[in-house]
Copies of this chain bind each other. A is one copy, B any other.
Amino acid sequence: MKIAILPGDGIGPEIVAQAVKVLNVLGESFELETAPVGGAGYAAHGHPLPEATLALAKAADAVLFGAVGDYQYDNLERSLRPEQAILGLRKQLGLFANLRPAILYPELAGASTLKPEVVSGLDILIIRELTGDIYFGQPRGVRECPDGPFKGQREGFDTMRYAEGEIRRIARVAFQAAQKRDKRLTSVDKANVLETFQFWKDIVIDVHKEYPDVALEHMYVDNAAMQLVRAPKKFDVIVTGNMFGDILSDAAAMLTGSIGMLPSASLDANNKGLYEPSHGSAPDIAGKGIANPLATILSAAMMLRFSLNKPEQADRIENAVKAVLAQGLRTGDIYEAGTTKVGTEEMGNAVVKAL
């Protein structure tokens, strides 16, 4: 089985190196091939998603992705900026289902800005649609305003859209995920204002007929943002569109206070996927050997479970991560008095040892 390794920018290479070390000691015969992406892709080939990188990602059974973005690429024109790589990979590979767990490890409850009783034991799964919505809808651009009080001025515009089949397939992923958990699904929309999300809601209600064992509720996105702050543990699985999912999944991740621990998966229709930590490229700490590699290591575990059909290996890695936390090892981002501060490599080595 072939895995494309795309380390990217900032802390990407350091944290991906630890996950690769972990993959290499599992005793499986994976073929790993590395290619530059994001700013590194631009630096090497003049484009954030070089053709050879895209070809590798397409040919592989799964993609392990670090993070993209660094200060020196901030002033490039938009089409050349690092984040275009991730948008391009999602679209080109058809990675429509983004799974983002927000889990609070008991040992790290203190890291949250929320009171322990509100978040301890938090375990929610946000499923974000990833190839539709206002992210890719056409037409979009800057044009002359065609009507209304600002007619004739310039205006920026974008198109939000969801087709029936797009909603059905993400809803199915969400209902099936809920079936494996507490069987409760919250579909987040803005049906009171947006036609797209009234349509979304209608289709989700229809798909629900295929999954009568799952309890479905509908919630407006503004209320969902409130309930995540007020009582996040009430959620089991949340499904929503690309734009709302971008906002809510980051808010949910931050509730844990330990975003350096959170993996993510982006899957296509055949469970091929791209796996990446939920955090970014953190260029301010890049190269210092202090970044937390656990989110990337846990992303590799998700990869083994969802794309490579090795659930026992995924369990092994997840247990090894729990073991190093139980040993009291912490990178700086999750450090508390009374624990042992370690660097990126030490943490990676500790996971390898726990395996």
- Within 8 Å of chain B (Cβ to Cβ): is A45? no
- Within 8 Å of chain B (Cβ to Cβ): is A282? no
- Within 8 Å of chain B (Cβ to Cβ): is A255? yes
Q: Are A225 and B251 in contact (CB under 8 A)?
A: yes
In the complex, identify which listed stretch (A58-66, A160-168, A301-309) lies at the interface while the others stay far away: A160-168
Separation in Å of the A336 CB from the closest CB of chain B?
Answer: 14
- Closest B residue to A168 by beta carbon equals B153
In the complex, identify which listed stretch (A21-29, A31-39, A242-250, A310-318) lies at the interface while the others stay far away: A242-250
Instruction: State which residues 82-106 of A face B: CB under 8 Å.
Output: 83, 87
Q: Mark A132-161, 1 if CB is under 8 A from B, else 0.
A: 001101101110010111100111111111
In the complex, identify which listed stretch (A5-13, A190-198, A284-292, A339-347) lies at the interface while the others stay far away: A190-198
Q: Which residues of B contact A198 (CB under 8 A)?
A: 78, 156
- A246 contacts which of B78, B113, B196, B221 (Cβ < 8 Å)? B221
Q: Which residues of B contact A248 (CB under 8 A)?
A: 225
Q: What's the interface size class on A, roughly?
A: 35 or more
Q: Are A250 and B230 in contact (CB under 8 A)?
A: no
Instruction: State which residues 195-211 of A face B: CB under 8 Å.
Output: 195-200
Instruction: State which residues 38-91 of A face B: CB under 8 Å.
Output: 78, 81, 83, 87
Q: Are A154 and B164 in contact (CB under 8 A)?
A: yes
Q: Are A222 and B195 in contact (CB under 8 A)?
A: no
- Within 8 Å of chain B (Cβ to Cβ): is A115? yes
Q: Are A160 and B160 in contact (CB under 8 A)?
A: yes
Q: Which residues of B contact A247 (CB under 8 A)?
A: 221-222, 225, 244, 247
- Closest B residue to A131 by beta carbon equals B149
Q: Are B255 and A229 in contact (CB under 8 A)?
A: yes
- A115 contacts which of B113, B192, B222, B244 (Cβ < 8 Å)? B113
Give A26 to B289 CA distance when docked, in angstroms. Answer: 64
- Within 8 Å of chain B (Cβ to Cβ): is A226? yes
- Within 8 Å of chain B (Cβ to Cβ): is A20? no
- Within 8 Å of chain B (Cβ to Cβ): is A118? yes
Q: Are A163 and B150 in contact (CB under 8 A)?
A: yes
Q: Which residues of B contact A200 (CB under 8 A)?
A: 156
Q: Given the interface contacts A192-B81, A229-B254, does A160 sit within 8 Å of B163 by beta carbon?
A: no
- Within 8 Å of chain B (Cβ to Cβ): is A223? yes
Q: Are B199 and A155 in contact (CB under 8 A)?
A: yes
- Closest B residue to A69 by beta carbon equals B192
Give A137 to B228 CA distance when docked, in angstroms. Answer: 29
Q: Are A199 and B142 in contact (CB under 8 A)?
A: yes
- Within 8 Å of chain B (Cβ to Cβ): is A173? no
Q: Are A158 and B114 in contact (CB under 8 A)?
A: no
Q: Are A164 and B141 in contact (CB under 8 A)?
A: no
Separation in Å of the A329 CB from the closest CB of chain B?
Answer: 23
- Within 8 Å of chain B (Cβ to Cβ): is A265? no
Separation in Å of the A241 CB from the closest CB of chain B?
Answer: 10
Give A159 to B141 CA distance when docked, in angstroms. Answer: 12
Q: Are A251 and B250 in contact (CB under 8 A)?
A: no
Q: Are A154 and B163 in contact (CB under 8 A)?
A: yes
Query: Mind listing 14 A-B residue pairs with CB under 8 Å?
Result: A81-B192, A113-B230, A114-B115, A134-B160, A150-B164, A155-B163, A156-B162, A156-B194, A156-B196, A157-B159, A157-B196, A158-B159, A229-B251, A244-B247
Across chains A and B, which 6 residue pairs bring their CB atoms closest together, nearest first?
A: A156-B199, A150-B163, A156-B196, A157-B161, A155-B163, A225-B251
